[in-house]
Structures are given as C-alpha cells and as structure tokens.
Amino acid sequence: MTVATAGNRWVARSPGARLAGRRLLTVIPVLLGVTFLTFVVMNLLPGDAAQELLGVNATPAEVHQLEIQLHLNEPFWVRYGNWLGGLFHGDLGTSLTSGQNVTAILGQRLPVTAELLLYAFVASILLAVGLAVLAARRPNGVADRISMVVSMTGLSVAPYVLALVLIYVFAVRLHWFPAIGYTSLTQNPEANLRSLTLPAAAIAFPLFAVYTRLLRADIVEQMQREDYIVTARAKGVRPWRVLCRHALPNSLFGLITLVALNLGTLVGAVAIIEPIFSLPGVGAILISSINNHDVPVVEGIVVVFAVVVVLANLLADMLYATLDPRIRYERSAA
Amino acid sequence: MGQPDGTEQVTDALLDVEDLRVTFPGRGREVHAVDGVSYRVYAGQTLAIVGESGSGKTVSCRAVMGLLPPGALITGSARFQGRQLIGLSDDQLREHRGANIAMVFQDPARSLNPTMRVGAQIAEAVRAHQDVSKARAKAQAVDLLRLVHIPLPERRSVEYPHQLSGGMRQRVMIAIALACRPKLLIADEATTALDVTTQAQIMDLLLELQAELGMALMLISHDLGLAGAYADEVIVMYAGRIVEQAPAARLFSRVRMPYTQALFEAIPRLERPAHAPLPVIGGHPLGPPDASDLPPGCSFAPRCRRAADDCRAAAPPLEEHEAGHRWACWHPVDGGTS
Amino acid sequence: MSAPLPELLAPAQPQGVPAARPRGRGRAPNLRIWLPAGFLIALFCACFFWPLVYPVPKPIGGSILNSGLPPLSPGHIFGTDPVGNDIFSRILHGGQVSFEVGLSVTAIGLAIGGLLGVAAAYWGGAADTAISRVLDVFIAFPALVLALAIAEGLGPSELHVIWALAIFSIPAFGRIARGATLTLREQTFMLAARLSGTRGRRMITRHIVPNIMPQLLTFSLLGIGVVMILEGALSFLGLGIPPPEPSWGSMIAQGQQTISASPDLVLIPSAFLFATVVSLNVLGDALRERWANPMGQSR
C-alpha cells in the first residue's frame, strides 16, 4: 500500500508537466500554419502595398520602383522565408506603410488591447458565474427567467450596435463615460478604467450572454442528474452550498472550453470596437493594414493572437487538471 | 393526513409510514410511483423492502426524506419519532437528513463528488449538523473511516473517490451516512454495484454498526436472498404497492403471494442442474407494469400463473391474514382463497 | 437495475437537452414559435413586397432639401437622413439585403457544408479525416479577418459579401452535419437499414437527411442571425454593400457621425437588426426544444 501510494504521488507531478510540454510543441506548427495562411491570403488579394501607398494616380513605373524598394517584387517563398527568418530572431519586420518597426508598433498598441480584453473577460466571466448560479438556484424562477432574457438579448445584439447604443446612452446622454479616447493606466488609473468601460462592455456583453447560458444549463444538469448531488442533499447540506461547492466546480469544464475557444474570435471584435472608441490598440490598425496590404503588420498581429490562443488552450487544459483530480492523478484503483 | 401538525403522536415505532402515495406529473398521464404504502420501522430493527425496479421501493424512501425532484406529488403520512415529515419545507427536512435519517446509495462511483477529497466529504456531513471547527470535523472524519474499517484512515481521507476501490467507496458512503449518528439508516441497493465478496463484507459491516450504534436499518433491494439473510422483517413491493409483508423466517417458510414465490424461484441456486434455463417471472408483458397505466385489479395479474377473473376485476387489499403476515392476493399460494 | 429510476426522478426534462427553457404547457411554447415566426414573415413581406405595392420614396437620390427630418414627419414616417433619403424606405431595402445575404449564405452553407459533413461522417476513414481537417482550419481562423480581407480584395458588393461569408458558413454546417450524422450512425435503426441492404444514396436521402434535418434547420435559423450581424459588420466597415445602396449596417455606420444630434439614425436600423436576430434566435431555440427528441423516444 505504501509503495503504491508513493508511486502514485510521484507520477502525479509528471502528467501536468508532460501535458504542458506536449502542448508547447504544438504551438510551432499552428503558428506556421496560421502565418502561412495569412501570407497566402494577403498575397492572393489584388493590389499591393506599393500601389496603396502611392495611390491611384501613380504611374506603373513609380509603383514598380517602390516595389523594388519594399522587396515586393521577390517571389512569394522568398518573402515568407525572410519574414519567418526574422521571426526567429525576434524581428517582425517593418511596416510597409509607415516604415516603423512592427515590434515597436505592437509594443505600443498591444497593452491597450490586452487591457481591454482582460477587462472584458474578467467582467464577462464573473458576471456569468454570478448570474448562472442565481438562475440555477431555482430553475424557471424569477432570476432564471431574467437570465434567459438577458442571454437572449446578448446573443442577438451586434457588438457594433451595442457599442453605439452604449455610447449614446452612457456617454452622450448620461455623461458617465467618455465616448472616445484613451488614457493610459500609468497616467491616470481612474480615467483609464473609465475610458475602457464602454468598449469592454460592448465586447463583454455577448460573451457574458453565451457563458451564462451554457453555465446555467450545465449547473442545472448537474443538480438534476447527478447522484452525488443527491448524496449531498441527503447529508443535510444547505442548498447554496450544494450549488456552489458541489455543482458549480463540476460544471465549469464546458465554460472553460468555450472561453478558450472564443479567444480567436476576439480579433474580429477588437477590430470593430477599437476604431469606434478611437482606442490606440492593435484592432484599430488591423483593418487599415489589411486595406494597405501592409503584410508585416498584419502578420505580426496574427502571430500574437495565435500565440495567445494556443497559450489560452494550454491554460484551459491545466485548469481542467486542477478542477478534476481524475485527470491529475492518472492511477485508478481496481 | 399530510399536513405537518404540531401534535406529536406517541408511538413506539421509529418511522411510521401510512398510506404514502407519490405521483409524478408526466406527459399527459400521471405516473403513480407509490400507490398507498404503509409500514413501520422500530428502533434497532432491520426492515427489508424488496421489489423489481419500478416497484416504487426507492421512490418511497426518497419521498420520506424529501429527496425527490420538485414535480413530485406526495400525500400520506410519514412520522419519524412521532413528527410528521410529509409536507415539511426543505429547510425543515434538512434538520432530519443526515442527523436522524441517513441514506447510503447504490453506485458509490457516481454518488461521491469526484472533485472533492473523501475526508472533506465526510467532514461536510459532520458540519452539516454539528457546530464544530473544520479541524475537529476532519479528525472526526478520520475516526469515521476507522469505524468502517478502512485501513490507514489518515492517508485515505485526503484521497479522491476515484483512487479508492468500489468496496472502499461504499464504506466511505457509510461513513458519511453515520457522521451524525442517525437513528435510521436506509441502504438503497447499497451492495448491488459490488462483487459478491464485497457485498458480504459491507452487509456485515452494516449489521455490526447497527448493533454498535443501536440504529434501525432499512435494506432496499431487488435481492430476496439478501433480504432473507440479513433482515428481521421483509416487505415485498410490486407496482407501487406492498403485496406481502412478514418476518423474514415466516416469509421464507410460508410464502403466500405468487409474486413473492416467483421471486424465490428466480433466485439462482447452485443446486440446480447445469445449463438449465434460469427461471424468470414470465407472463406478458415482460417486466414491471407501466406505472402511468396501471390496470384495474391486481397489478400482477397479467403475469401471474394463478390469475383468475376476480384478480383482473378488482385489486385485492393488503390484509393481515395471519399473525404478523400480511398479503394482498385473492388466490394466495398454499392457502386457497383468502 | 435502476433504469426506470432516472426517468422517474427527472420526469419534466426532455432527455439530452440542457434545461434551458421551461417546458410550458398549452399556449406558452406555441407563442414562442408563432410570435417570432409571425414577425419574421411580416418583416420579410414588408421588405420585399411593400415597395412594390405601396408607393414608397426611393431609398437613394433624395433631395437635400429634405435632409434631416425627424421621425413622424409627414410623408417620412421614420424621417430622413442627412442626404435627404427616406429612412423608412432605406430600412425596407436594407432589410432586403439582410434577408438576401442571410438566406443565401445559410442556404449555401446548408447545401455544401451539410453535404460535406454527411459525406465525411458516412464514409469515415481517410476521407473523413481529410475533410475534417480542412473544415477545422477554416473554423480556427479568425473569421472576420478573412472575411474582411476577401471582401476588401474583391471589392464591395452584395455578391462578394455572400461569398466571403459563405466560406465560414460551409465549415460550420459541415461540422454540425458531421456530428449529427455520427450520432445517428449509432442508432439501432440505422444498423437495421444497413443490414437490410440499404446503401449509398438511398441511405442518405431516406434515412440520414430526414433525421438530421431538424438539427440543421434550427442551426440554420440561428445561423441566419449570425450572418445578418456579420453582413452588418462588413457594411459597417464599408466593405459590404457599397453606398449609397442601403444596408442596415452601413446605415448604422452613417448614423454614428451624428449620434448626438439624431440618435434615431443609429437606433432605428439597430432596432430592426436586433428584432430580426432575436426573433430568429427565439424561434430557433423553441424549435430545437420542440424537436429535441427526433427519435421519438416516448416514455
């Protein structure tokens, strides 16, 4: 018994590390795949950066001149290879439009986007857990019906519509938050949060709707179908504790999966929301970069998001292991 | 009958169930899971309720503890130490659950929270009714593990359910049930999911604990052999009703109800010749009746070898035809018409 | 042994469906189906037939003299925009665009994606893996970015928007159809059909398609809503329907500039978009619940 248990403890630490290691290895092919696909798409589109920079009135000779300057005349593979090579050295290239170092651009803009998304995520998850628990306490009760209406609204509203409505109500009419503009965290924390609240809400509300719906359904399912819930009730445990200590931890798996899955779609949300609020994040320049065929900038943004998505999925896996000891300790008894 | 009245009836029965009925609203038709069940459990006694799945045996016990889903309609009376349980609010019933009446369930793999340590789950049971510190509860949990003969209880108490064997998990369930020294322990198919050897061990453990703690024990099972081996009194249920009730010895020597007899014959025996087909309760329709569509008359009539026209016409009442032995049959075995 | 028991203990929930909605009796579920369905049908007819039947001012080329009229002005029930176009008319025509794009993209997705998914699940093996990988790549890619790129590259037009969005509709339907077919394959009646010699096309048309259709249809309804929002997003960014042709998305974008002065320029198209998508979602949900047990396991 002693030997077996000791062996069990030792094995327990490894699976987590092994899992992490395995996952990190998958980062590279995914990154390659995503960046390659982006490169392909950008190059398939008609037109190029030189054309965009010089405008419609430029002569073909001028365009060609600029193309040579920007290395755009080299074959596809060479360009991709160069960029990839640069990536391994940590050099993401320079913007074709502004000439700025892409890393520098990202360095300036990423913190804004990161803070915005973090704000949105934390808010949406916390609120979702809160509302889902309240709703699941009494299925088809008052809180539950409210949660369904709220969820349905959040699922049906377009983020850009929500953003504008929020601006109108809270900025134009009530003057609680600024309609546009951004104050950095270091300058003024309070103004920083206020400038990010409306855009974060526009992003968070649809997420919150989906999360609440899923979590509520999972919790209710646990409460109604699982035997250990009956055991807990038979012990005389209070209903709130049964809900929060027993049902909730076992219901989080679906939510975690969904959150990790959703991260990729946030690129799109950010690309629309940031310009509306004039936030100096990466989303704001994504569309213009696509328009200008500024490949290095687009690739840079894509790389960052791809890494974040992969890391998020890795984090999700680790969270599964934390929540479910069956994953952590692989040994199962006879 | 069914309103919680303030008066306490003086009776020496620990649990006094009278005309308990449980109905579930179904799609259009109601499901009569329990159809007028009455029995008594006395302190220190072991009562077995035997029946097929769908007979209502589990539903009737869960009804008493208030563990049925919200849609269930419960009428009748169930008094624990004289106090009416039917109709109490969930909060009021919680005082009884675990403290006075405890339950052990069938499948310990699914009945324990997979993400919570075993010791914590026992400690939770302790703290549900006793105002003790977390540390104290933890210590009590270890003591309880020792009580149910789990070796190395300190080590076991920080493990998770999936790290334990089936038999050990069931012991943990028993430890949880005993946390507050209940007066009545209901074992709902507690040994069905275990192998035969472990079954015997668990049953012996239950009897030992019963003697030690002076508990009443209710065994719910489909296994008539188990009931005979361990119970004082046996109740046989079919389609939501009690069809026969007697002290164990009497039941096994002088069975009356054809259903009970068929159950006897269905117990596999080693003495039978090899390769002989196992006897089943045949008849048509195979299997227990649809509880939402019970036929008039005796519910067992469609499958009964002795059924006659009066059986199909009217349901026989449950009556005490001999001292201590009740049955509900127009044409009982060994006795002609009642 | 305890087989009937779970059913007894959970009688009110349809099996396999997370209890997302109350199982109402009598009028309630019907209302959840007919109210949104009625609204959608009414809106559809209004958008496509009203301008034909009733004289309505043109959605473009309005006179600058008429600009900026507030709602409920005579002759302009929703007012006019800064260029003088009648908002009501623009809403109707914009609605045409939304319905056209929504329905076409979903139809393409359903037809091609559905077929791919069913084929992948039915054939299994290498074909399944190949198809699934391809679908997964598209699902993994940030949809909006690609749609933006395609729409921008091809130039703004309704047809290009449809193509750009169809690229995402197809993999989504493919995945759903594949999943549905896989679960279907495990059902015993499918085995019976296989054993009795049903093969290939007959198997697909007679057995598979009718049984996954409910699931695909509810997914379609929800999908139309998503497509409408995406089309709105593209138009909002100037990459969808080229102005001055009206689209609810571009109307919202235009209205953004004057949001303080005349918020209704934003609010009216937003309200229509929201109402349409909500109706689609509620209807899709209600139908999904109604059809939750396609195998008809009565108990």
CATH number at residue B268: 3.40.50.300
Q: Which of B33, B31, B49 is nearest to B41 (CA)?
A: B49
Whether the CB-CB separation of A300 and A290 falls below 8 Å is answered with: no
The three-class DSSP label of residue B26 is: coil
State the Cα–Cα distance between residues B316 and B256, nearest whole angstrom: 13
- Which stretch of A39-53, A128-142, A203-217, B124-138 has the lowest confidence by average pLDDT? A39-53
Given the cut 0.95, state whether the ipTM is greater than it: no
In A, which residues are within 8 Å of C270 by CB distance? 158, 161, 164-165
- Whether the per-residue pLDDT at C44 is higher than 60: the answer is yes
Is B37 inside a domain boundary?
A: yes
pTM of the prediction?
Answer: 0.80
pLDDT of residue A16: 59
Residue B267: domain span:
7-100+182-327
Report the gap between the CA of B189 and the closest CA in chain C (Å): 9
Side chain identity, residue A172: V
CB–CB contact A5 B116 (8 Å): no
Chains that touch B (3 or more CB pairs under 8 A): A, C
pLDDT of residue A323: 81
SS3 content of chain C, % helix, strand, coil (to 5): 70, 0, 30
Does residue B33 sit at the C interface (CB-CB below 8 Å)? yes
In this prediction, residue B282 carries a pLDDT of 64
Residue C28 confidence (pLDDT) = 57
- Please tell me if residue C259 touches chain A, with a CB cutoff of 8 Å: yes
Q: What is the pLDDT of residue C29?
A: 61
Cβ C8–B288 below 8 Å, yes or no? no
Higher pLDDT, A153 or C27: A153
Q: Is A234 on the interface with B (CB under 8 A)?
A: yes
CA distance A92 to A287: 19
Chain B interface includes A55 (CB < 8 A): no
Could you read off the pLDDT of C1-31 as tens digits, one per residue?
Answer: 222 222 222 222 333 333 334 444 444 568 8
Selection from B222, B160, B216 nearest residue B189 by Cα:
B222
Q: What is the pLDDT of residues B278-319, one digit of tens each?
A: 766 666 555 666 666 667 777 777 777 777 777 777 777 777
Residues C98/C274, Cβ–Cβ less than 8 Å? no
**DSSP secondary structure letter of residue C205:** I
Are A229 and A239 in contact by the 8 Å Cβ rule? The answer is: no
pLDDT over 70 (residue B251): yes
Of B163, B164, B176, the CB nearest to A235: B176
The minimal CB distance from A37 to the residues C141, C143, C225 is found for C141
Average pLDDT across chain A, whole number = 80
Asked if the Cβ–Cβ distance from A290 to C141 is below 8 Å, we say no
Per the domain annotation, does B195 fall within a domain? yes
User: What's the longest Cα–Cα distance across chain A?
Assistant: 85
In a domain, B144, yes or no: no
pLDDT digits (tens, 9 = 90+) for A11-70: 445 555 666 666 667 667 767 777 777 777 777 666 666 666 676 677 777 777 777 777
- Distance (Å, rounded) from C-alpha B183 to C-alpha A208? 48
Taking one residue from A and the other from B, the number of pairs with CB-CB distance under 8 angstroms is 91
Residues of B in contact with C4 (CB under 8 A): 53-54, 288
**Could you give the maximum distance between any two Cα atoms of chain C, in Å?**
81
Q: With CB atoms and an 8 Å threshold, state whether A152 touches C143.
A: no
Residue B317 lies in a domain: yes
pLDDT grade for C278, boundaries at 50, 70 and 90: very high
State the average pLDDT over residues C68-79. Answer: 75
Q: C88-291 — its CATH code?
A: 1.10.3720.10
- Whether residue C289 has pLDDT greater than 60: yes
The pLDDT tens digits of the residues spanning C113-150 come to 988 888 888 777 888 878 877 777 676 666 677 777 77
Nearest to C9 among B25, B54, B68 (CB): B68
Number of structural domains in chain B: 1
Lowest-pLDDT range, A254-268, B44-58, C166-180? Answer: A254-268
Q: How far apart are CA C144 and CA C150, in angstroms?
A: 10
pLDDT of A267 higher than 90: no
C103-117 pLDDT, tens digit per residue, is 999 999 999 998 888
Contacts of B77 (CB under 8 A, 6+ apart): B1, B2, B16, B17, B18, B19, B20, B84, B86
Given a contact cutoff of 8 angstroms between Cβ atoms, the answer to whether B236 and B245 are in contact is: yes
Q: Kindly list the domain boundaries of chain C, sorted by start residue.
A: 88-291
Asked if residue B134 belongs to a domain, the reply is: no
Q: Is the pLDDT of residue B5 over 70?
A: no
Residue B167 lies in a domain: no
Mean pLDDT (chain C, rounded): 76
Helix (H, G, I), strand (E, B) or coil at C280: helix
